[in-house]
Structure 1
Amino acid sequence: MKLNHPTGQQTEDAALAYLKKKGLQLIERNWHCAFGEIDLVMRQGDIYVFVEVKYRKNNQFGGSMYSISDAKCAKLTKTIELYLQTKRIQAPCRVDAWLLQGQNEPVWLQNILG
């Protein structure tokens, strides 16, 4: 069956290209640990930016933003904390979301965890 929507890898490629055009620098991609995965680790100046990439074909189940639940945010926070500890990074950081829904323009939400 031919899929007519981007795969996870293609969506991450698109997010990476978009964010690089916005001036962010890639540090790491698809970092895994026992808690979960960080899609993209980037830097914007001195700030480490952890990017959650989401694609949804449509908004039938709430769309791409609604797929980032409270449970997902908690899991992501633990994963980021372990990343920072493992890499011995003591720098400002934030969590962003890069969202793509259907054929719409992507949405880049900064600092989604406040």
Structure 2
Amino acid sequence: MALNPFNKRQQGQAYETMAEQFLRRHGLSPIQRNFQCRSGEIDLIMKQQHCLVFVEVKFRQRTHYGSAAEAVNWRKLQRLKRAALFWLHKNGYPIEHTEFRFDVVSLEGTPPKIEWLTNILVEG
């Protein structure tokens, strides 16, 4: 078994870079990477026209235990939502007057196959 030259953080950063490049090719502009607060973490914050996009990036080498997208469960989405609401407040965006959504970019296999799921957190 070959040793992986990257640790988990470096792997995560590499996949986040791939996801960011993918989203840039699809017309989104980067705002911030790896925003962290007590509520949680946001891998990528992007902008598509007037809409802020909070992106969770997930990688799975194998799908024995489910796909990368399936790994983004309800608990993870709630943490992402709380972190996003904190980020909006911290940066002066009024929640009721700001267009935003939550997306997932999943990467699976080697080389990674990328899938982009938009507006994954719809409540109400």
Task: Calculate the TM-score normalised by the size of structure 2.
Answer: 0.86
Partner of 1:36: 40
Stretch deviating more after TM superposition (10-19 or 59-68): 59-68
Partner SS for 1:2: coil
Q: Check whether the contact 2:59–2:108 (CA below 8 A) recurs between aligned residues.
A: yes
* 2:99 maps to amino acid: P
Does 2:113 match 1:105? yes
Bigger Rg, which one: 2
Partner of 1:2: 3
Q: Which runs of 4+ in 1 moved over 3 A?
A: none
Aligned pairs, how many? 114
Gaps of 5+ in 1: none
Partner of 1:17: 21
Percent identical: 33
Q: Distance in 2 between matches of 1:112 and 1:40?
A: 15
Does 2:94 match 1:86? no
Q: Check whether the contact 2:69–2:105 (CA below 8 A) recurs between aligned residues.
A: no
Partner SS for 1:63: coil
